[in-house]
Amino acid sequence: MSKHTIEANPVGPINGSPEQNAYMEELERQLTVDTEKLIDIKNHFITEMIKGLNKPNHTLAMIPSYVEGRLTGEEKGHYLALDLGGTNLRVVLVTLEGQGKFKTISTKARVSDELKSGPMRNLCDYIADCIDTFLTEQNLGNVDEDLALGFTFSFPVLQSKINRGILTTWTKGFNCSGAVGKDPVLLLQDALLRKHVPVKITALVNDTVGTLLSNAYQKPNTLAGLILGTGSNGAYIEKMSNIGKWEKENTTAHEMVINMELGAFDNERTILPLTRFDNKLDRKSINPHSQIFEKLISGMYLGEIVRNVITDMMDRNLLFTQPGQSTEAISAHYQFETSFMSSIEADGSKDLSTVREVLDTNLNLTNVTDVELRIVKRICELVGTRAARLAGAAIASIAIHTKVDRQGADFGIDGSLYEFYPSFESRMYTALAELMPDYADDIRNIIRLGLARDGSGVGAALTACVADRMFKTV
């Protein structure tokens, strides 16, 4: 069994005090997205996709990626990839071998909070140094020709060419000064030049687009790529004729990859069933009122939503009320990590020993009662299930909009949330079956979800490769 198919072990009845039971029933009501609501959300999502394709600066940005056409799996060569936008910075040397095969060598570096919110120049200098060190280690520091690099920059970018774009806003905890409204390729290329690093950035890649391409290299029937990690996003292959806002020079391509920037879906808050726990998270986030959908479905936030419920119950004397209970850790923002939810949901033991251990080890919560263990597990189930169902609605929207038929399509998904969260995939399939009733009998063979490993690394290399191909055909 692969990791992304590990199933959760639902908790039984809470059997708490009448007040605790009543609270949990009300919580369940608030956090449950039933079929009817999910259909409404899906319909609104498709409407928003179409609006975004037809007018600039719409909430669902539907950004043309400039990546044209499809892959055959026969592409070959050496390329560098750089991945910025998550927890780590990654530099990857990719060797494409054809027949869908490739080799990679990579290095990782942490991006400190100081770099994430300091001047963009410091961040670029740091990245250039990381690349320089990696090339030296790989004996590539003195090559004749600059190495082509695909730059995976996983933030909303208005692209004007395959290797040019403007950062519109930071997300996911980044907030460097001197970057919004500028081209991250030029800023980084400048740092590379200053430091004499022999690398030319030939493609600016969103990780979601890269995920799509890396999946397509091995599965040519790939329709979309999704990210379900720190943040959330989607990209899919759209017909040029459907991109009403496309005003650039005519391209001979029939299709183009669209970076949806779906994390911003419903920033207007017209359809999503937001609770006070979500509102609190948004209000205290670094980017209030934006990325509302992302805040309901991605790794950076799910644990914090759970924590908001837990602290609300604590405030009402419904949880962790034992005298001397240490509540300092659980009271601090973002101390309840989404990975805890994975461990908690997977716990199938009678005495919920894993839940107990997670709370004890990570949050210093001791002498927790059995009722409290069940309550915490139930909160995780509700928040995790809602996330998976909403993510499923986004996938259904892509499939329905592009008229996927019984032949089906492949969807490559990258991200620790999809990979490690128990039942995330099966909950998405449940939602998909509800939203695509005609295909419910065979949903797993029609909407073929699968882990797209190393999407941002290999995908960026493949984009650099597509960029080459496009430059050669003009």
Window contacting Mg ion (CB under 5 A); options: 34-42, 78-86, 335-343, 434-442: 78-86
> Rounded CA gap, 467 and 69, in Å?
11
Q: How far is the CB of 37 from ligand ADP (least distance, A)?
A: 25
Token pair of 307, please?
């924590």
Q: How far is the CB of 142 from ligand ADP (least distance, A)?
A: 31
79/418 with CB nearer Mg ion: 418
Window contacting Mg ion (CB under 5 A); options: 79-87, 160-168, 276-284, 303-311: 79-87
Token pair of 344, please?
């908690």
Residue nearest to ligand ADP (CB): 86
374 phi and psi angles, rounded to 5 deg: -65, -40
Tell me whether residue 406 is one of the annotated catalytic residues. no
Percent of the chain that is helix, strand, coil (3-state, to 5): 45, 20, 35
Enumerate residues 6+ apart whose C-beta is below 8 A from 247: none
52 is a site residue for Mg ion (CB under 5 A): no
Given the residues 65, 90, 378, 397, the one annotated as active site: 90
Window contacting Mg ion (CB under 5 A); options: 40-48, 222-230, 241-249, 250-258: 222-230
CA distances from 240 to 98, 179, 244 (A): 28, 30, 8
Q: Residues 406, 427: contact at Cβ < 8 Å?
A: no
318/394 with CB nearer ligand ADP: 394
86 is a site residue for Mg ion (CB under 5 A): yes
Q: How far is the CB of 90 from ligand ADP (least distance, A)?
A: 9
20/259 with CB nearer ligand ADP: 259
Residue 81, SS3?
strand
107/402 with CB nearer Mg ion: 107
State the residues that interact with ligand ADP by CB under 6 A: 86-87, 229-230, 299-300, 337-339, 342, 415-417, 420-421
> Rounded CA gap, 302 and 314, in Å?
19
210 is a site residue for Mg ion (CB under 5 A): no
Given the residues 154, 298, 342, 397, the one annotated as active site: 154
* Binds 64: which of ligand ADP, Mg ion, none (CB < 5-8 Å by kind): none
165 is a site residue for Mg ion (CB under 5 A): no
Token pair of 123, please?
């961040």
Alpha helix positions (H), 258-337: 276-283, 292-297, 299-315
Q: How far is the CB of 342 from ligand ADP (least distance, A)?
A: 3
152/397 with CB nearer ligand ADP: 152
Enumerate residues 6+ apart whose C-beta is below 8 A from 193: none
Q: Which of 358, 345, 343, 336 is nearest to 423 (CA)?
A: 345
Q: Which of 8, 92, 40, 23 is nearest to 397 (CA)?
A: 40
> Rounded CA gap, 212 and 414, in Å?
9
Residue nearest to Mg ion (CB): 86
Token pair of 346, please?
């997977």
Helices (H) and strands (E) in the chain, counts: 16, 13
* Binds 417: which of Mg ion, ligand ADP, none (CB < 5-8 Å by kind): ligand ADP
Q: How far is the CB of 31 from Mg ion (least distance, A)?
A: 27
6/187 with CB nearer ligand ADP: 6
408/455 with CB nearer Mg ion: 455
Given the residues 83, 125, 183, 207, the one annotated as active site: 207
Window contacting Mg ion (CB under 5 A); options: 101-109, 225-233, 305-313, 362-370: 225-233
Alpha helix positions (H), 403-450: 416-420, 424-435, 443-446
* Binds 87: which of Mg ion, ligand ADP, none (CB < 5-8 Å by kind): ligand ADP
Q: Which of 441, 288, 401, 404 is nearest to 42 (CA)?
A: 401
Q: How far is the CB of 456 from ligand ADP (least distance, A)?
A: 7
Q: Residues 27, 444: contact at Cβ < 8 Å?
A: no
Q: How far is the CB of 371 from Mg ion (least distance, A)?
A: 38
> Rounded CA gap, 439 and 429, in Å?
11
Q: How far is the CB of 70 from ligand ADP (least distance, A)?
A: 25
Tell me whether residue 307 is one of the annotated catalytic residues. no
Tell me whether residue 454 is one of the annotated catalytic residues. no
457 is a site residue for Mg ion (CB under 5 A): no
Catalytic residues, by residue number, are 90, 154, 207
Give the residues lining the site for Mg ion (CB under 5 A): 86, 229
